[in-house]
Amino acid sequence: MSDRQEVLGSRERVRYARQIMLPDLGLEGQARLRASRVVVAGVGGLGCAAATYLACAGVGHIVLVDHETVELSNLNRQSLHWESDVGTKKVTSAAEKLRSLNPSVEVVVLDARITADNARDLIRGANAVIDGMDNYEARSAVNRAAVLEGVPFVHGGVWGFNGQVTTIVPGESPCFACVYPEKPEEHSPVPVLGVTPGLIGTLQAMEAIKLLTGIGRPLTGRMLMVNLTTFDFAFRVLARNPECRACGAAEGGAQ
């Protein structure tokens, strides 16, 4: 028996049998997932979908970061929160479902508002970070922290029936600040059909799995743009900004 087979218990080999059958994944890839730590920054529509499929895939350590409580208006899209959870902290609600879904996964709860001051501490030690946030300031803080910590950051965003995904690998690809150097116009609350973050969050989970296992080609230097009313899928080519205040500075001046 190989070392990888010994790492995976008999129940795990049965639970993940269908994906272990994939030649690009196999026991080696499954063991990598088991050893990985992914931070889900924001447990709303995107974060719920991403966290669900990370747990299903067997990512061994999932860290949930959020400070909000579940509201009735969340329930059209935030699939880990149920009506009985209204008034409960989102991290608590989501963790309960994920632990029930896959008891072999360690789910860590961080009840915190993401800021420029704490972002590095929140993501330190992660193998990947999922963007489940809903505002520019938090995304910018995590993006900069990811650059400084050298942690891949999978960005996702939604509006109505439209969504976007890109993967940021520090030192290799454009970062969030390259694409959005200035704060875009934001509207709150954002109109959205629940299917949209469900799809985008699932794609983010797939990107994280690819990064953790080395499968395929991640969305580095490209942004996938999705319109669900027409099923148009398009790619936007992204370029690094050598003067970017986040990743450009990382090559000489980010502190």
Q: Which two tokens stand for residue 128?
A: 């990947």
Q: Domains plus CATH for the chain?
A: 36-250 (3.40.50.720)
| Contact criterion met (CB below 8 Å) for 104 and 12 | yes
Tokens 């940021």 — which residue?
168
Q: 27 pLDDT band (50/70/90 cuts)?
A: very high
pLDDT in tens, 119-137: 999 999 999 999 999 999 9
pTM reported for the whole predicted model: 0.94
Question: What region, left, alpha or beta, does residue 198 occupy, with left being phi > 0 and alpha being psi -120 to 50 degrees?
Answer: alpha
Are 183 and 136 spatial neighbours (Cβ–Cβ below 8 Å)? Answer: yes
End-to-end CA distance of the chain: 47
Instruction: Please write the tens of the pLDDT for every residue from 161-191.
Output: 999 999 999 999 999 999 999 988 877 788 9
pLDDT tens digit sequence for 67-108: 999 999 999 999 999 999 999 999 999 999 999 999 999 999
Tokens matching residue 187: 């509207």
Please say whether the dihedral angle defined by the alpha carbons of residues 58, 140, 157 and 100, taken in this order, is positive or negative.
Answer: positive
Write the pLDDT tens digit of every residue in 34-44.
999 999 999 99
Question: Coil, strand or helix: which one is 59?
Answer: coil
